Homo-oligomer: A and B are copies of this chain.
């Protein structure tokens, strides 16, 4: 096997053209094998096999610097830069991250997990080179849907002014996670149709030189193209047409399904483990689709990630014009919703907590200053949902809870969530965000109100004394558990479901000072700037002791969720013991 002998790009360079093709086949076989056992990004990497080989044949990494956008398409790059065992030996599968990671290799320059960043980051390497002094090539790889992101377009627009070496490889696999959206993709199609000859050319219109490669899965054609632009003295785009999922028939045939996959059977494509039971994501799409049938004004909006909240191709088809995928463009998604709400529609933007970060200013300015009644569904907001450092969903509470006019709700069960969602669609006073619970749906064990218009009224689930536990959203169950443990020790604690992240129930909090000495806050997110700190500030001038639980400030990567919770004392027994200790003071 050739692949086993590839310790560095130099070993790739030594291979004959025929051997490179053999190498490509071996890479693909091992990619599929690892993915079938381990899961990961499938289609994007299968499509980039030849391009990555050609990049390493032509350029001299790490002196020449290759920056992969999103970097979920960097598996092949890792295989060719000293990390092959992480793809060929099951025992080493977890040795590498799913993204580029400078601590793994000098061939990786950035940790990248959000899309549309490679042109700007690589542009910085190029400008830095020009200042510091250097002659290397800088190559940004972008594509797989991320061209539509504002940061990428800002970067492309700027690149023209650099005036020195900068190579931008556009991996045009005709897909995003789902199908592509946006006018620029029609231009890419026209460029493909005309083999790059169309007079109307987005990249040239941005001031960039341009080269088209029709055979983006042909090593020879790619090497020729890269040789042509190597050491270019100006910025140039190399537009390569590739096939997402290439070499695995199932992935070629259903590209959305195979963008990212859990472990599967290679022959049939069946998942080794199929999640059973109802989850909040599917529940959301099913529920909204039902609402749409009765109300033409309801409209779901996604920024390129329909699947993460249950919008399968079938459901999107059913929703028709009431489902809008704006492509990877979170800023636009939020501003669009603001405009739609202003015009009387009932837009619902579903966005992963981590990606919501890209639209902070739009939430603040376009939506909340204008106080337009759109609904934001914040998906996966939790310490345990996503464990890659680039996809942490820890920060949405600090991010949103300080924005005036916004009502941010934390439901604690299935019925409460649906009641909040329905209420938000008819509420016209403020924009509403809902932190969609994570995990399997939990049925309500208490009555759930249908109207949340009396803002910041917390639900007192148990009225006790001495200790009050404010258990927010996903951590309501943890709060119940803590109260049970305290009861076993003779403390009848008050249990509160705060419901509202964005405001304090001051009357209730004040009333607690009469017969409570300790208040505990539990939140499934970062502590800094979060919900607990607002409670701590409220009680700051009083004798009340406050204990805030959440995650300490840190970027953590590929962590074990349960161990992480324990490190942060987010465990019922630890919290109960802290409370007993605090009562002794």
Taking CB atoms, residues of chain B closer than 8 Å to A362 are 117, 120, 151
Residue-wise, chain A 161-188 has the 8 Å CB interface mask toward B (1 for contact) of 1000000000000000000011110110
A488 within 8 A of partner (CB) = no
From residue A139, how far is it (CB to closest CB) to chain B in Å?
13
Taking CB atoms, residues of chain B closer than 8 Å to A542 are 545
Complex-state Cα separation, A155 to B335, whole angstroms: 9
B154 touches A148 (CB 8 A): yes
A217 within 8 A of partner (CB) = no
B155 touches A153 (CB 8 A): no
Taking CB atoms, residues of chain B closer than 8 Å to A390 are 365, 369
A529 touches B402 (CB 8 A): yes
A335's nearest neighbour on chain B, judged by CB, is: B120
From residue A291, how far is it (CB to closest CB) to chain B in Å?
13
From residue A327, how far is it (CB to closest CB) to chain B in Å?
7
A150 touches B148 (CB 8 A): no
Complex-state Cα separation, A539 to B139, whole angstroms: 50
Taking CB atoms, residues of chain B closer than 8 Å to A159 are 183
A400's nearest neighbour on chain B, judged by CB, is: B529
A404 within 8 A of partner (CB) = yes
User: B158, B340, B399, B540: which contacts A131 (Cβ < 8 A)?
Assistant: B340
Taking CB atoms, residues of chain B closer than 8 Å to A149 are 150, 154
Interface size class of A (residues with CB under 8 A): 35 or more
A526's nearest neighbour on chain B, judged by CB, is: B402
A402 touches B528 (CB 8 A): yes
- Identify the stretch in A200-208, A247-255, A444-452, A470-478 within 8 Å (CB) of chain B at 4 or more residues: A200-208
A368's nearest neighbour on chain B, judged by CB, is: B555
A585 within 8 A of partner (CB) = yes
A184 touches B206 (CB 8 A): yes
Give the residue among A122, A128, A362, A553 with the most B Cβ atoms within 10 A. Answer: A128
A202 touches B202 (CB 8 A): yes
Residue-wise, chain A 407-445 has the 8 Å CB interface mask toward B (1 for contact) of 000000000000000000000000000000000000000
A401 touches B366 (CB 8 A): no
A538's nearest neighbour on chain B, judged by CB, is: B536
A537 touches B533 (CB 8 A): yes
Can you name 17 A-B residue pairings with CB atoms under 8 Å?
A112-B365, A112-B366, A114-B361, A117-B366, A120-B366, A121-B366, A124-B343, A128-B341, A128-B347, A148-B154, A150-B154, A155-B335, A155-B336, A158-B326, A158-B332, A369-B555, A528-B534
Not counting A149-B154, A529-B533, a sample of 11 additional A-B residue pairs whose C-beta atoms are within 8 angstroms of each other reads: A114-B361, A117-B362, A117-B366, A120-B331, A125-B342, A158-B329, A200-B205, A399-B399, A529-B529, A533-B533, A533-B536
Interface residues in chain A, defined as those with a beta carbon under 8 Å from any beta carbon in chain B? 102, 109-114, 117, 120-134, 148-151, 153-161, 181-184, 186-187, 199-202, 204-208, 296-297, 299, 321-322, 324, 326-327, 329, 331-332, 335-345, 347, 357-358, 360-362, 364-366, 368-370, 389-390, 395, 398-399, 401-402, 404-405, 526-530, 532-534, 536-537, 539-543, 545-548, 553-555, 582, 585
